[in-house]
Amino acid sequence: MSLTSQQILKIENIVKSSLLNKLQNYKPESISMPFHTRLLGKDRMALFSFIHSLNTNFGTSIFEPVAKAIAEVNFRSVSIQQIAGEKISSEAQISIQSIIDRLSSAKTDPNKLTEIAELKNVCRLGEMKNVKLTKVDLKLVAHDGTIFLIDLKTAKPNIGEFKGYKRTLLEWVAAVLADNPNVLIHSLIAIPYNPYEPQPYNRWTMRGMLDLNYELKVADEFWDFLGGAGTYVQLLEVFEKVGIELHPEIDTYFAKYKQF
């Protein structure tokens, strides 16, 4: 199996502590839904509210630290919530807008390697402008020095958001190249699980904006990239084990909302 016993223990502790902390500090929303509550019961409504709240910070509280724990074995360095850079050349900004415009009008198909080469040619041309970029959720440096900047997204991003995602990925590349034009750099979006399973993920919705070979990893593609083949399946088993162990705490917490 891909995960070591030490990694499994570390992941279990991350998930347990995150969930227990959420249970200890969570207060259900005070929005009154009298019809729903009478139909389903206070405990089910409290559980629904809890799951919704958990989803909002699942990425930062669980997925990011779990990804870091997995990748640390296979990469030279791993960090979360990083700044890609603080400057982008004016010519790189023009190039980024040109790439976005060409993709938006379907004049060209996304080709990340070509786009990176285009940015590399202009990464230090013109005025170097200060920028405040979206933070990198997960930064990996491979043993050969290749940098991977990863943006973790919810399972079903809105199709209208992909133009903004593409711009972020290109800006990260431009900022890194501004510091070091010779570095090998990749930026991509990772979606931790496939909500359409067992059907394939609906990649066609982003085909016109993202290079699907270089800018997107979904479910097993992402986790196996971090930890090796079989990591995704093993990770699901770890989550299931933790869930079973915490059933008593979860049941006790929601029991107080039961209607008798």
Do 120 and 191 belong to one domain?
yes
Domains in the chain, number: 2
94 in the same domain as 69: no
pLDDT digits (tens, 9 = 90+) for 92-105: 999 999 999 999 88
Q: Say if residue 79 is in the same domain as residue 151.
A: yes
Tens-place pLDDT, residues 39-63: 878 878 888 788 877 887 788 899 9
Q: Which residue has the tokens 């960090």?
A: 79
Instruction: Check whether residue 260 and residue 197 sit in a common domain.
Output: no
Mean pLDDT of 167-174: 98
Residues 112 and 195 in one domain: yes
User: What pLDDT, on a 0 to 100 scale, did the predictor assign at position 168?
Assistant: 97
Instruction: Looking at the structure, tell me whether residues 174 and 247 fall in a common domain.
Output: no
Cα separation values, 82 from 135, 139, 225, Å: 5, 7, 20
pLDDT in tens, 236-252: 999 999 999 998 988 88
CB-count exposure of residue 200 (10 Å: 0-12, 13-18, 19+): exposed
Q: What is the mean pLDDT of residues 229-238?
A: 96
Q: Say if residue 221 is in the same domain as residue 240.
A: no
CATH number at residue 133: 3.40.1560
Domain assignment of residue 142, given as a range: 75-227
Q: Are residues 239 and 219 in the same domain?
A: no
Q: Are residues 9 and 89 in the same domain?
A: no
> Over the stretch 107-165, which tens digit does the pLDDT of each residue have?
899 999 999 999 999 999 999 999 999 999 999 999 999 999 999 997 677 777 888 99
Strand 216-218's sheet: what is its strand order? 77-82, 136-141, 147-152, 185-191, 216-218
Q: Which two tokens stand for residue 96?
A: 């980024």
Whether the link from the prior residue into 248 is cis, omega within 30° of 0, is: no
* Phi and psi, residue 187, nearest 5°: -130, 140
pTM: 0.90
Tell me the torsion sign for CA atoms 199, 231, 238, 65. Answer: negative
Same domain, 152 and 193: yes
